Structure 1
């Protein structure tokens, strides 16, 4: 007779599981008392790539989740993908599922003689609350087009069609597309992932460090600052990094959606390239090549932006314009009785050991 499954209440983490040494980044107060604390890690890189500030354990490998999408988009442009700027921004998006997003994903497919049945992402309802409610009121159900990664998947299928690669099976890690993505991620981050998994939408997912991801976003934003797109939205001059960065800057509404803090940040901070990721991840690259990266340990979405703005402040960015997304009210009886605030977490001393590599070699 098979042994019974252990109760979840009595299941502990394996003793060999390495736990990142996160620090308290964001606190929620209620009438002067700290009610909740979000731990996490972060890093700010200066324009020359040097470390300006850190918090927690910025060299601990983590999964960037959807923050990888701009890097994946760079890989596709390197492989010959050409799209109008709004659709290229959608290829790097975790969109809310508004009509413009759904129609954009369909346009990418139609431009390359593809159909929604060619997509291999998971099905889901629209990510945005208002968009989801409207979709349900109109009798909608979970589909691949409404899932927040549909722009990326449409672009992946299109890249396969352009190169004569099989569209079916484009998510397989051994597929030429995913091999190119892996190479591009290594190039942009300067890191070899110590682990690979599968993201929620089905794409290969690489473990990286906050430093590596910050480096990649700094490169994308800096490239965008020195290039331009032509009248048709194509790459007029510059690199694939420039094309993706410019597209995201020009169409921040396609990268996320109305009411989303990532869209708002790019509107308020010209020259910035920003992308969030599930489980409390936030990346921002700036025009001079500086950048910040944040990972909230408990995956708390509300803590991403306060910590991010605090790191931007450490880079000398005028963050007054970001005041509206740098905090959030804590309510009691419908009235504000507290606030969500970043702690004084900045550390100018950088860790001496890089745990992203299997041999733990020193920096």
Structure 2
């Protein structure tokens, strides 16, 4: 069980590195139209505390009603709010994003970490509470079976974290959205559009849940995040995203091949990232950081031998491979 202090194994308090493989943001970004919207946001005024226009825009995009859209200050804030709102155990498919476990710890909930979909369903039946499924999973890249997601949503309550689903293509995104209609669907589009410094996310709830909506802090996001969320569902932004996927696939495949060529075990995935076994993740991550390359230490996922790397352009990959030769 993680402690209260956040532990993400990537971002740190040091000066920005020359090459950052720790972030799963779209390496082709930022999206020009979304960036322009954020830069043009009027930051001299408060946002609407009810976010009526934003929720209407998102509801129209998802073909639902505005009272089922809940706005949050990034995925982590919504995860914690959801856990506080629901009683019982917290179930997760491990290894996965550490904020689910951290939220359970902060709220004094029992954490059940399962390693297969079948075990997850048994845990839901044995100890009801709130389940979390990350799709595709961070850090493993697993695309959990759609039939399992639908069954878990029916057994619920369930949160399906779709942080990286838009990076898997429109057809896969549509499929998981259909499978998770009975769940809370969690969207944090700052990753797909390459603007992780703007903290805004939202839920599409399976039913109207005003208590959960009203549990948010007042003015939970600023006008910059409002602009990002509105721009992210526009057709030009989604077209840009779809066109960026071929480049991401090319860079991720190139990185995986290069790592295998130097004898490392690689676990690939469908989004922007992959896992590589380096033996001692913390030691290797520190040595790479000294060389100006930041990577994601997998220890906070419960993977102390692995680092997570995002797809990056060829020049950055050459720098990483050179630094790895001395760090291993």
Q: Normalised by the shorter chain, which TM-score bucket? A: under 0.3
TM-score when normalising by structure 2: 0.27
Q: As a proportion of its length, which structure holds more helix?
A: 2
Q: Which has the larger radius of gyration?
A: 1
